[in-house]
Amino acid sequence: MRVKSLRVFVPVLMFGLLLCASSTAYADAFSLTSFSFNNLQFTPSAGTAQFTVTAASARADAGINGGTQISNTSNSFPIAQASAAVNGVTATATANATTHSVSADTTASTGNCNCAVGSFGQGILTGTLVLSGVEGPVNVNISALQELLWHVQTDEFGKYAESGLFFDLFVNGVPVFSLQVEALHPIIGPNGNSMVQASQQISRSITLQGGTENSIVVRLSSTSLGINEVPEPASIVLLLSGLGFMTGVLKKRRA
């Protein structure tokens, strides 16, 4: 369950980050990503669906290339929450077994420095789904509310800003929903600005066997990246491996 809705939390967060800085320390490159998957439901055409969450985990990473890097994780049950913050770079993630929800919010603000900053947030729920009172194949509708907001911006000194979304829902190891957006309309160069906010009810029907136990994995993450001065290739490699949350790492995890 998210503490605040996207329509309230994200604009306030972004507004606060920009206004709390002095007039000479504004964000040269800024990225904000907010992503949630709420109220997951399984509705069978016959019988009763029992979804039991067995584990919840959350991870939050924030860091500056060549500087401070923070990584926090939580496996608390039924609600796992993690957060990290480093000089205008923030990440929070929540996995809520009670409401069958996962969410992640990240920001990256370079703030008048020749540097690269990034953040990563991830929430994961795992559990089992059993169809009782029925035998043989049964159609099951899987539905949830998906909400996202991303905003990337550079001023006259900014070099690059991007926002990324990653989401998967697996049933017995097979993806039912999958969203892998590694760079949402990246802003390359100064004076760029792009923003999208959306809320969508998603659903899909699959066939499962009654009376059998099915494995469920829900995994969601968001990333934010800002660069003021393009580093050397070696520095880019250091950023990706050192922070441990950029696209290459996520690809390896999926593999």
For range 52-58, the mean pLDDT: 97
Asked whether residue 97 carries a pLDDT value surpassing 70, the answer given is yes
- Each domain of the chain, given as residue ranges in start order, spans 6-40+58-123+144-166+176-202+219-254
Q: What pLDDT is attached to residue 229?
A: 62
pTM: 0.78
Structure confidence by residue, pLDDT tens digits, 115-140: 889 999 999 999 999 999 998 999 99
SS3 track for 71-100: EEEECCCCEEEEEEEECCEEEEEEEECCCC
Q: What pLDDT is attached to residue 20?
A: 39
Asked whether residue 239 carries a pLDDT value surpassing 60, the answer given is no
User: Given phi > 0 = left and psi -120 to 50 = alpha, else beta, which region is 97?
Assistant: alpha
Main-chain dihedrals φ then ψ at residue 113, nearest 5 degrees: -140, 150
Asked whether residue 3 carries a pLDDT value surpassing 90, the answer given is no
Asked whether residue 10 carries a pLDDT value surpassing 60, the answer given is no
Strand partners, 198: 148
Structure confidence by residue, pLDDT tens digits, 12-46: 344 334 333 333 344 588 999 999 999 999 999 99
Higher pLDDT, 69 or 157: 69
Asked whether residue 232 carries a pLDDT value surpassing 60, the answer given is no
CA-CA distance, 247 to 249, in Å (whole number)?
5
As a whole-number percent, the residues of the chain with pLDDT over 70 amount to: 76
Task: Identify the CA nearest to 99 among candidates 1, 168, 194, 228.
Answer: 1
Asked whether residue 182 carries a pLDDT value surpassing 90, the answer given is no
